[in-house]
Amino acid sequence: MQIPNHLLQNTGAQWNNTIILTLLHGGHLNPNLVMRSVKTKWSVRESSDILRAGANRFICRFHKPEDHTRIWEKQPLQVLGHIIVFEAFSTGMNANTIGFKTVPLWMSFTGLELEHHSTEIVEMIASVVGPVNEVLPVEMIPRTAEEYRVNVNVKVIQPLIQGTKVNTLIKGEIWVGFKYNGLPSLYCIICFRLGHDRANCQFLAIKEEIPLLMIAYHGETEEAAGNNQASSFQPAADVTTPTWPHEVNPLSSPFLFMSNPSIEPNIEYEMPQAQYPSESPDSSLKKIVQVWSEAGLLSNDEIEDLGLDPPTITKPIPNFTPHYPNPTEINPDPTTTPNLISLSSTYTTADSQFSPIETENPPETV
């Protein structure tokens, strides 16, 4: 069937000066859900048309030119947890060849010197990030370097450049930092990439390698080269006795046989003797044995053989049995119940009846 060319031209002209969009890492989403969500996000449900042009590719045209300008200036936008990346599109372009490589961002600067305060130089510095779209202000010098604003196209899959070195007249090369304004919430401060936050970052942060201070024990040799630390140690071949604390015969824990009476403690051991003046068992090992001695787990002969301090003998606290008066006694002993003497009257029981007994010195009445 042959369609008239004027009809094809009129219909194709409706899709000129439109945009083609995609969701960064959003190929798994439902296309119908994406188109509805994008229209709702842009507030153009009744004044736009969106067609699916391929996998995760959508062409959108606006009935009002002001909507097209408003949305283009609001970049970057995000919906359904993904950043919307779009490019200009017209009839005759192949939708499958659109790369979606950049997204426009506004940026400012820190560290500019006096000789850098011009629109031309600021544009040259910003070109390190990507193609420059606009530089503000145009015909005036701002009060501070941070008030320069440049709109650049940054690579969406690459880390954002944080600054660059710039030459000066007197100070040599200085560092000029970049500050990006209006970043979406899907920006990672660890890898400086768009599309995810720090909680979902799968890129390892660049860590500075700091040389470790290697401390050698007795009997180990260190091979140093220049100012670098040795990467490995080789133990001396003539060292035959255990020198590290964990190589000494381990002592059984007192809690092992205190909790299980069927296990008898094995405390027949000898303290290792040092062959060199600088070689001695760890002091904490002696403290552990001393604690066993204080707990009564070692005999006196073993304490003397080990050269430990005898356990501290503390006097036992005498058992005190309090004496409570018997309320059924008629004449309680005043020496054992001194608290009854201070009472003005006492009571006794007789046939389940309480009757007061006058004391030797009744209180005077006025």
CA distance 19 to 21: 6
pLDDT of residue 330: 53
Is 296 strand, coil or helix? coil
CA distance 290 to 287: 5
User: Which conformational region is residue 12 in: left (phi greater than 0), alpha (psi within -120 to 50 degrees), or beta?
Assistant: alpha
Q: Lowest-pLDDT range, 25-34, 84-93, 103-112, 333-342?
A: 333-342
CA distance 103 to 186: 14
CA distance 1 to 321: 118
pLDDT of residue 304: 78
Residue 144's pLDDT band (boundaries 50, 70, 90)?
A: confident
Q: Residue for token digits 């989403």?
A: 29
* Boundaries of every domain in the chain: 15-97, 102-200, 212-241, 245-306
Q: Which DSSP state fits 187?
A: B
- Is the confidence at residue 340, as pLDDT, over 70? no
pLDDT of residue 234: 46
Summarised one tens digit per residue, pLDDT across range 256-286 is 445 455 545 454 445 455 454 444 555 667 7
CA distance 191 to 159: 6
> Residue 83: beta bridge partners?
78
pLDDT of residue 292: 78
CA distance 125 to 179: 13
- For the residues 3-18, what does the mean pLDDT come to? 88
CA distance 202 to 196: 9
Residue 58's contacts (CB-CB under 8 Å, 6 or more residues apart) are 20, 21, 22, 31, 34, 35, 38, 50, 51, 52
Residue 341's pLDDT band (boundaries 50, 70, 90)?
A: very low
Summarised one tens digit per residue, pLDDT across range 347-366 is 444 444 444 545 455 555 54
pLDDT of residue 70: 92
Residue 36's pLDDT band (boundaries 50, 70, 90)?
A: very high
- For the residues 155-175, what does the mean pLDDT come to? 92
Residue 61's contacts (CB-CB under 8 Å, 6 or more residues apart) are 14, 15, 18, 48, 49
CA distance 112 to 171: 12
Of the ranges 44-53, 274-283, 341-350, which is most confident? 44-53
| pTM, 2 dp | 0.52
- For the residues 13-17, what does the mean pLDDT come to? 88
- Is the confidence at residue 251, as pLDDT, over 70? no
CA distance 263 to 253: 11
Of the ranges 23-27, 290-294, 319-323, which is most confident? 23-27
pLDDT of residue 215: 37
The CATH class, in words, for 15-97 is alpha beta
Name the nearest CA neighbour of 165 among 155, 173, 156, 154: 173
Residue 191's contacts (CB-CB under 8 Å, 6 or more residues apart) are 159, 201, 203, 205
Summarised one tens digit per residue, pLDDT across range 176-234 is 999 999 898 899 999 999 998 888 888 875 554 544 433 344 454 444 444 444 444 44
Name the nearest CA neighbour of 116 among 129, 101, 135: 135
Compute the mean pLDDT over every residue in the chain, rounded to the nearest whole number.
74
